[in-house]
Structure 1
Amino acid sequence: MAYSKEAEKIMVAAIDFGTTYSGYAFAFRHDYESDPLKITGNQWLTGSQAGVSLKTPSCVLFNPRGHFHSFGYEAEEEYVNLAYEEKHSDWYFFRRFKMKLYNNPQMGREDLLEDEEGNTMPAMTVFSAIINYLRGHLLDACKSRDFGLSESEIKWVLTVPAIWSDGAKQFMREAAEQGGIPSSQLLIALEPEVASIYCKNVPMNKREDSSTFECFDVGTKYLILDAGGGTIDITVQEVQGDCSLTEVYKANGGDWGGTKVDEAFEDFLGEVFTPDVLYRFKREKRGDYLELCREFEIKKRTITPELDHQKVTFKIPISLNDVYQDIKRTSLRDSITAAGKYKGQLALIGDKMRVDAEIARGFFTTTCDVITEHMSVILREPEVEGTSTILMVGGFSESAMLRHAVQKKFAGMRIIMPYEAGLSVLKGAVQYGFNPQIITTRVCKFTYGIETLNDFDDQVHPQSKKIFISGECYCNDCFSKHVEIGQSVKVGEATEERTYFPITEDQRSMRLAVYVSEDANPQYTTDSSCTYLGELTVDLPDEVEKNKRNVGVKLIFGGTELSVEARVIKTGEVTKAAFNFLNRGGSPHCEQQHKH
């Protein structure tokens, strides 16, 4: 999205919608210009667990009528209480659902989310309700401080993982619009990038590594490891002479975040208590199960590599042991003592389970190994040669186990983790809102193209692609390339114009099918490397002669979202064009356009 001086706002407000935790922060322009770190966040009360936090769990509760009830710690507490009273089954409680947009990159507007009880609601309803709540909470905070601020004077920034699809980004933009944020006031920000921007503004004495080394010297390349609860985002940036940042290797990563540690712990419980016992416990003792999850979320932060011959204690609900005895007709304590995979390595004492430190550390092994191996592959790429620094940001980066794994794997590199690594995305998003031009270049994650009909050439095209339209012979499913995977593109830069024209004279618009590929030069959209992304609709002017309505299309890359320019070749007039990446109807084959 273009950004200009005219678009400047008095305040920038950022929403970090995370897999496990979410929050918001804001700053005024005059404060940012004097001190970029003067950013205000909200302190959330942590419910029954006394204290405050700058983020709150990404949990949302809707009442039986489907109306929004609460979010965060409040939703968690209310649902646990409902579960203890066995009144929860017809309520809607969603947690850790953001990953649905990663696992289903083609999620449509009408797709459903399944909650903890198997009840469903439209995903758009859930996401937009949360954004609306956080927006309203922030506005209430401003009103209570008598800032005298109009909503039109706010620039909003919404963070998303850099590895998300174009469709997932469009989904979040539309959810934000439904949540009360005008699209014209919204920037979509990529999480590792804004974390990097935050770190660039943090004085060295507030970084974990307090040496005199400066990782933001001109010409320095550094790898950003943004380790969140759901996804791991990795990219490599280089500092330019004007202190702007360019991406030198395409954003990549996977679903290897902190929730994988939770899954490993649950797998362990399944081995100890058996899967059928754990399943029944989760279904029938929902309140106790959620309390167990909350306990582990806190406990896992205390697991460190230094634990050697010590025991790690986990609080286990008595009801889990009761379910075990009811199904197995024997005491779990007796079963563990008698035999089992973990004999001698764990013990049950009341509602406590004490395990060897090796077992506890093992919950982190798989995800840490996957992350560090993926980083190794990236650091061997020629584009990132000379990268000597790793910047660790995101909530999972605060895990001592992940830090140790990275330090061990990359012993010869400088590892830097900023102060408040878990808030680096949120605070960096505020700073990005004031200066989005700081990111000047990005690298394309895919080859992008449009499906076309070309004149058929017997010497080039396979016979299986030959089709006839109005007596003319065409080659079907041709891939008209606009940008290539790995290509470095300046922010806001338009690609070379491609010309398309309608097949029939009565068309009022053209629906162009947009495809992506992991190959540099795909020939046909049916190639195995190609994936249908969505459609681009271009209006055709009536006032131009029917046979002269050729349209020039430029795709604009480099921004956090893909955009487009289209013009009528005959008149040079700009015509309306828009993407729809949330179309579940499939490729619009009936309106394929001939590349001119």
Structure 2
Amino acid sequence: MSFGFSLSDKLKKLSVADDDDEIDDSLVIGIDFGTTYSGVAWATRIDFENNQINFITSWPGNGREEGKVPTELWYDDDDGPVWGYEVPADGDPFRWFKLLLLRTEDLDPELRTSDFVIRTRTMMEESDRTVVGLITDYLRLLWEHIMSTIERARGEAVVEALAIHVVITVPAIWKGYARQAMKDAATKSGMLDSRLAGATKLTFVPEPEAAALSTLIEQGSGVQPGNVYVICDAGGGTVVSAS
């Protein structure tokens, strides 16, 4: 769990590192959109100055504080899509749908035969749903919770006045078409809708790269020439290393 926190934490520092001016009057939201679980962290300019990163640990349908929420989606015939911890115990939710943004031939051979992948693909065909549609619905519900959480913490008027920069993690193995599909889903979810404070910026960050940056930032001045850091991103669907 702490690894997910660290990854989401440094996403925001990464997102503003190349543009100091953007830190002024802005809100940066990092979304670790995972295969099995997803996490969110956020910070404003003042938060950055105080070295404070805010994590979302309260989720609908769950009375406990948890660092992440299940990346699961279930469709109720009466109430529409239900996500995360709100999925009933007897529900049969869509799982691992993030992986289906890759074409079958681009998936790791072991993932092609995964029960979750096969089951989700079959459910999509039977319900006439698309992977972009599933991710759109999930991100929309997640985004609504993100914004309501931040507005409760800082006030709706304050949040409305801030320009937003969204940073979403993506697997390093993803090809260009998968990233484009992810961007389409993010756009359709409403998170990039125009606001009075200006356009919302979207950045994708490879998961192992974000983890590597996290390690370097945590080490600070302790990083010396010749040091070697090996990062293992043991995700829910894939395992990737970087050094």
Give SS of 2:97's match. Answer: coil
Match of 1:40 in 2: 54
Give me the whole-angstrom Cα distance separating, in 2, the residues matched to 1:62 and 1:6. 43
Name whichever structure is richer in helix by fraction. Answer: 2
- List per-residue Cα deviations over 1:54-99 (Å, max 9, x = no partner): 101111112237x743211112xx2x34x5xxxx7xxxx3112212
TM-superposition CA deviations, 1:484-523 (whole Å, max 9, x none): xxxxxxxxxxxxxxxxxxxxxxxxxxxxxxxxxxxxxxxx
Determine whether 1:98 maps to 2:98: yes
Distance 1:14 1:115 in 2: 30
- Show CA shifts across 1:426-485 (max 9, x none): xxxxxxxxxxxxxxxxxxxxxxxxxxxxxxxxxxxxxxxxxxxxxxxxxxxxxxxxxxxx
Give the match for residue 178 of structure 2. 168
2:135 aligned with 1:127:
yes
Cα distance in 2 for residues equivalent to 1:14 and 1:121: 27
Residue-by-residue CA offset, 1:26-69 (whole Å, 9 max, x unaligned): 0122222332xx21112245968x7331101111112237x743
SS at match of 2:136: helix
1:217 alignment partner in structure 2: 224
Other-structure match for 1:227? 234
The offset of 1:228, in angstroms, is 0.6
**Contact 1:46 1:52 (C-alpha < 8 Å) held by counterparts:** no
* Alignment gaps of 5+ in structure 1: 205-213, 237-596
Matches of 1:170 and 1:151, distance apart in 2: 29
CA distance in 2: counterparts of 1:43 and 1:24, whole angstroms: 8
Does the 8 Å contact 2:100/2:131 carry over to 1? no
Check 1:45–1:12 CA distance in 2 against 1; reply closer, same or farther (3 A cut).
closer
Q: Does the Cα contact within 8 Å between 1:114 and 1:121 map onto a contact in 2? A: no
Q: TM-score, normalised by structure 2?
A: 0.72
The reply on whether 1:60 has 2:76 as its aligned counterpart is: no
Match of 1:15 in 2: 31
Q: C-alpha separation between the residues in 1 aligned to 2:143 and 2:29?
A: 9
C-alpha distance 46-185 of structure 1, shift in aligned 2 (>3 A): closer
Using a 3 Å threshold, how does the CA distance of structure 1 residues 151 and 25 change in structure 2: closer, same or farther? farther
Question: Would the alpha carbon gap of residues 33 and 165 (structure 1) be closer, same or farther in structure 2, given more than 3 Å must change?
Answer: same
Higher relative contact order (CA 8 A, sep 6+): 2
How far the C-alpha of 1:116 sits from its partner, in A, is 8.4
The percentage of aligned residue pairs carrying the same residue is: 28
1:326-405 matched pairs, under 5 angstroms: none
Q: How does 1:412-491 map to 2 (within 5 A)?
A: none
Q: Which residue of 2 aligns with 1:138?
A: 146
When residues 169 and 116 of structure 1 are mapped into structure 2, their CA distance, relative to the original with a 3 A threshold, is closer
Higher-Rg structure is 1
CA RMSD of aligned residues (A): 3.3
Question: Which amino acid counterpart does residue 157 of structure 1 have in structure 2?
Answer: V
Deviations 1:156-175 (A, max 9, x none): 00110111111111111111
Higher strand share: 1
